[in-house]
Structure 1
Amino acid sequence: MDHDQESGLSRRDLLKSAALGGVGLALASGDARAAATAQADGSSATVRGIVFEDTGSTGIRQADSRGVAGVLVSNGREVVKTDADGGYTLPLRDETIIFVIKPAGFTTPVEADTMLHRFYRINQPSGSPAALNLTFEGIEPTAPLPASLDFPLTRQDEPAQFEVVLFTDPQPQTPAEVDFIREDVVNALNGTPAKFGMTLGDMMFDDLSLYGRYNGIIATLGLPWYNIGGNHDLNFEAPNRHYSRETFKRTFGPPYYAFAYADAVFIMLDNVDYLGTDPKRPGGAGKYEGRIDAAQMDFVRNLLAEVPTDKLLVVTLHIPLRTYIDPEDPAQNLTNRAEFLKLFEGRPHNVSFSGHTHTTEHHYLDAADGWTGPQPHHHHVLTAVSGSWWSGPYDHRGVAVADSRDGTPNGFHILSIDGTSYTTRYVPLKEPNGRQIRLSVLSHLHSEMRRDYRPGALIEPPIALAAVPSTTLVANVFDGGPKTTVTMRIGTAEPKSMVRKAIPDPFVEDVFARNESVKKAWVKAEVSSHMWTVRLPPTLGPGVHPVRVAATDQYGRVQHATLALEIAT
């Protein structure tokens, strides 16, 4: 059955439009200038429709379909609420995406073969400009919108306690690295009780033709999946931000959007501000900075005007609000962080997540960052699925070991939500028994003599008795941060506090130094934000000493690591 002027989209049209970017349309994450022009041009064009309860799961509004009141719908800038009959009206620009903001207790249509939500309709009558000569397929010219652009919702149970899988930077550069995702990640999640998952950018490493295979692999988890784009998910031929997400839009839909689940509202943003091709960079890649553009600022502001303050806000971005790697680099940090954070004034329940740096970091932002809440804002930079961009030696499966440059094993996080409270936990993909701490012993000879010793010999026992006074125990608490406390106990002695210290992980220094042939050229050990150290007691005698390290995280959970510390005579 084809749609008519009143009934909206048929199931066949839903699937057809999904192939072109879904049942919705994303504001082509345009630059601020283009968006401002569209808003100020005095156009009276509007789009209107009905958000309805799809009791028959047909995707088509029937004569007896009931409208759903109080649902938010957006054109990427304005946000309106449906009336008592489920009706909405929004300004319509030549290039935009109209999308419904999934309310709690409902779901939008999910494609079985991709597990992607189709909650939008792309309106781009001219399609992606042919003059751009895009390497990867963009948007075909879209058909005129129906007189009533309707969105189906289906009821679902949403418990206050639920879990979400958080990925960032899977970033396969080759088909073989897509294999790594299948073998390393998907198999680790089979049977997960999580309600849905999300990837916070860099699904690809520039080759956007791999999206289809990647989505099919992730879909085998059986979880609905949400995505935002990273700096490697761009159409590099675009001169600026405006047309830099054409392939992303075709595949995933709006570059930024929001949805609710139980008592949480997820705000999915695109803060990669593309500045155009840089001839000095390989592969036609361009420069970019971390920035929330004017259209998204308006979207968030208008969204929050409709969201009660007793909801948990979960904000996701690709580029961090701030990173330890280089806090001044505009390509690594959100350049308009203070302006952005002001949008959340008076919101007591909040957390934000990002990726991009292939490090694991916890930040607690305060007034110096533009945050005005009574408690610091927790920003969590997540572990990269690809770790060191799939660098390193291969394990017995032929999968790259991929330890990250800050010493964190590649992996992902699980976000656990209970009402307006949350916790996260880190899942390493190759550590035995899900180990959360790695211990090394480091003498002053470490860096000078690495070449003369077998792998690991300078960061593992045994150590010479004469070297004890100059030897330091190093603990990499993989998901540790400023609120983590760490102690060390040797035998039955009193525990000693370990000190957080910004140093590279000696284990990863060793791994990278000895595996140059299977390491990406730019990968090197970086200063890590989650290292703790303590000097060994100089009176420690020969023999084997049991060492136990305990790390308490911000949620009060305790992780342990043990080491048989052997001291030679």
Structure 2
Amino acid sequence: MQNKTLCTLGCMLFLAGYSFAQDTVKGYVYNDANKNGKKDRKEKGLEGVSVTNGVEVVVTNDNGKYELPISNDAIISVIKPSGYAINTNKDNLSQFFYIHKPNGSPKFKFEGVSPTGKLPRSVDFGLMPSEENKAFTSLIFGDPQPYTLEEVDFFARGIVDELKGVKDVAFGLSMGDLVGNDLSLFNPYIKAVKDVGVPWYNLLGNHDLNFDAEEDHLADETYEAHFGPANYAFNYGKVHFIVLDDILYPDPRDGKSYWGGFCDDQLQFVENDLKFVPKDHLIVLAFHIPLSEPEGDPFKDDSRERLFDLLKEYPNTLSLSAHTHIQRQDFLGKEQGWKQDKPHHHYNVGTTSGDWYSGKLNKQGIPISVMRDGTPKGYAYIHFNGNQYNVKYKVAGKPEDYQMKIFAPKVVAKGRNTKAGIYANFFIGSENDEVVYRIDKGDWKPMEYVQEQDPSYEALVFEWDLTDTLMPGRRSSNPIDCKHLWRGKINTKLEVGEHQIEIKATDMYGNTYTGTSSYKIDTQPDAQTQTK
């Protein structure tokens, strides 16, 4: 019983700290005209800006002043309004928070926050006016997750290098599992991402935890020391972003491992935050573990239901996750507890580490790391326009128009039926998309949506099992069913020779992508010819 209530008790103690200490934090949100990061006498306060202690949310008065309760284990953060920018540090990390831990973090294997000392008389947040178009783009990284410095290098050279100096990106967000259990790799990870050259946000994954913590609210101490609060929000254009830690650790059911879900104080924060968000804005929620998966019980049902209840008055929503090392589009309706007629779109983003840096090495000595559903490693761009959005996936090291992997047999026998098929793995696709194909510029025909293992990925894996010579790199994970796979029939009645395959896929946003391949038809040799 004690283990099952750890998360709830932690949340209650956090809130109880307010009443025992009777402490408050005060300060100003101001126009940092000279961009020096401190409030000068002539710099005016900004009215109507939200500030939070991680649970309660208040807005500044006409002088830009706010006041909040505070405990001795708290992070105060400003919720950036649209039309303003926040200072970033030398590593391009947004500085939107103040940590108040007078005694510092508990003693863990990996160092947390150093003692912050006495609370300043005024905790101020400077913002700078910034032109924000209603149309903008964000860059999304799923699970960088290096376990070693060598894998940090794989991440830097295989992902970041091709993004250095990227244009027209407002900010980036990494979707958790920033590292793989070794929290001393946070700084190398930060140095790698810095080179993208845009303001960067992060969120907490299950491999970013202090595993020696015995209570959930202490499991993110090292994360906080490097990145600030694990729960926060900000605005850009007509989009309101809410970033949440959805890792319950230790698992409140048995005190072991972890579980997906939220504590009461987190949901209270979301409720308080949304009070100041217009109903016609797009709400984008980002967290590590997906809201639901078909196998097992990875997410707490009550957390999902309560979150959906808070969103029922917002018709424009999107949620993002990573964690699975595959890519998938989910549409959650009333059967899953969604409170609106239009299903909620949940995008489970493919990862920058792919299949945990496995597979053969490319020409640069970097693992190709194709994911178990056949999705190549990469990252996503989300293009926003007002309260609408359009997601595109970019395969690392490939042209932007490389959006599908086509598999077909190399040769088939003329006139003979075959169980082989033409497969198209449309990386960003979902079951509702249209995928058609044609042979030799004939009529377009629909392909059949199937949930099977991608044969192109199966071939990559079995190459490791069939070779009699060890290859550089590491065997990939076993295949799983792909959620964005289509199958077409092979026409064997054509003339002997090479035949061209064209495939056209149209996604949920109306984007159309094409791919090509080929197969050969030959005559079947007879048994006598073979024996000779």
Q: Do these two structures clear the TM 0.5 threshold for a shared fold by scoring above it?
A: yes
Structure 2 counterpart of 1:320: 290
**Is the contact made by 2:8 and 2:264 (CA closer than 8 Å) also made in structure 1?**
yes
Q: In structure 1, the residue corresponding to 2:488 is in which secondary structure?
A: strand
Structure 2 counterpart of 1:449: none
Answering whether residue 344 of structure 2 is matched by residue 368 of structure 1, we say no
Q: In structure 1, the residue corresponding to 2:104 is in which secondary structure?
A: coil
Please give the per-residue CA displacement for 1:412-464, whole angstroms capped at 9, x wherever unaligned.
Answer: 000000111110100001345641111112xxxxxxxxxxxxxxxxxx41223
Answering whether residue 456 of structure 2 is matched by residue 507 of structure 1, we say yes
CA distance in 2, matches of 1:185, 1:519: 18
**Is the contact made by 1:347 and 1:373 (CA closer than 8 Å) also made in structure 2?**
no
**Is the contact made by 1:203 and 1:230 (CA closer than 8 Å) also made in structure 2?**
yes
Structure 1 counterpart of 2:153: 179
Structure 2 counterpart of 1:123: 100
Q: In structure 2, the residue corresponding to 1:299 is in which secondary structure?
A: helix
CA distance in 2, matches of 1:236, 1:386: 22
Structure 2 counterpart of 1:217: 192
Structure 2 counterpart of 1:170: 144
What letter is aligned with 2:156? R
Cα 1:205–1:434 change in 2 (3 A) is farther
1:409-448 maps to which residues of 2 (within 5 A)? 409-431=376-398, 434-441=401-408
Please give the per-residue CA displacement for 1:109-159, whole angstroms capped at 9, x wherever unaligned.
Answer: 2012x10011111111222223xxx22111112211112111111111111
How far does residue 32 in structure 1 lie from its aligned partner after superposition? 3.0
Cα 1:466–1:207 change in 2 (3 A) is farther
**Is the contact made by 1:309 and 1:346 (CA closer than 8 Å) also made in structure 2?**
yes
Residue number among 254, 257, 266 corresponding to 2:241 in the alignment:
266
CA distance in 1, matches of 2:400, 2:65: 53
1:555-566 maps to which residues of 2 (within 5 A)? 555-566=509-520
What letter is aligned with 2:36? T
Cα 1:237–1:184 change in 2 (3 A) is same
Structure 1 counterpart of 2:220: 245
Q: In structure 1, the residue corresponding to 2:418 is in which secondary structure?
A: helix
Over the aligned positions, Cα root-mean-square deviation in angstroms equals: 2.1
How far does residue 175 in structure 1 lie from its aligned partner after superposition? 0.9
Gaps of 5+ in 2: 1-5, 466-470, 524-532
Residue number among 149, 156, 169 corresponding to 2:123 in the alignment:
149
Structure 2 counterpart of 1:524: 478
Aligned residues: 510
CA distance in 2, matches of 1:189, 1:566: 39
Residue number among 368, 371, 375 corresponding to 1:404 in the alignment:
371
What letter is aligned with 2:12? A
Question: After the TM superposition, which of the residue ranges 162-171 and 507-516 deviates more from structure 2?
Answer: 507-516
Q: In structure 2, the residue corresponding to 1:544 is in which secondary structure?
A: strand
Please give the per-residue CA displacement for 1:22-69, whole angstroms capped at 9, x wherever unaligned.
Answer: xxxxxxxx9332222343463332111111111111211122221110
Structure 2 counterpart of 1:461: 410
Please give the per-residue CA displacement for 1:211-256, whole angstroms capped at 9, x wherever unaligned.
Answer: 1121112111210000001011011111131211111000000011
Answering whether residue 178 of structure 2 is matched by residue 203 of structure 1, we say yes
What letter is aligned with 1:86? G
**Is the contact made by 1:236 and 1:277 (CA closer than 8 Å) also made in structure 2?**
no
Question: After the TM superposition, which of the residue ranges 168-177 and 41-50 deviates more from structure 2?
Answer: 41-50
What letter is aligned with 2:478? K
TM-score, length of structure 2 as denominator length? 0.92
Q: In structure 1, the residue corresponding to 2:214 is in which secondary structure?
A: coil
Question: After the TM superposition, which of the residue ranges 382-391 and 147-156 deviates more from structure 2?
Answer: 147-156
Answering whether residue 445 of structure 2 is matched by residue 496 of structure 1, we say yes
Cα 1:234–1:335 change in 2 (3 A) is farther
Cα 1:490–1:256 change in 2 (3 A) is same
How far does residue 465 in structure 1 lie from its aligned partner after superposition? 3.1
Residue number among 13, 20, 26 corresponding to 1:37 in the alignment:
13
Structure 2 counterpart of 1:18: none
Question: After the TM superposition, which of the residue ranges 90-99 and 244-253 deviates more from structure 2?
Answer: 90-99
How far does residue 99 in structure 1 lie from its aligned partner after superposition? 0.7
Q: In structure 1, the residue corresponding to 2:390 is in which secondary structure?
A: strand
Cα 1:310–1:479 change in 2 (3 A) is same
Q: In structure 2, the residue corresponding to 1:222 is in which secondary structure?
A: coil
**Is the contact made by 1:391 and 1:518 (CA closer than 8 Å) also made in structure 2?**
no
Question: After the TM superposition, which of the residue ranges 204-213 and 420-429 deviates more from structure 2?
Answer: 204-213
Cα 1:65–1:431 change in 2 (3 A) is closer
CA distance in 1, matches of 2:189, 2:16: 40
CA distance in 1, matches of 2:473, 2:258: 25
**Is the contact made by 1:277 and 1:287 (CA closer than 8 Å) also made in structure 2?**
no
CA distance in 2, matches of 1:320, 1:334: 12
Gaps of 5+ in 1: 1-29, 280-284, 442-459
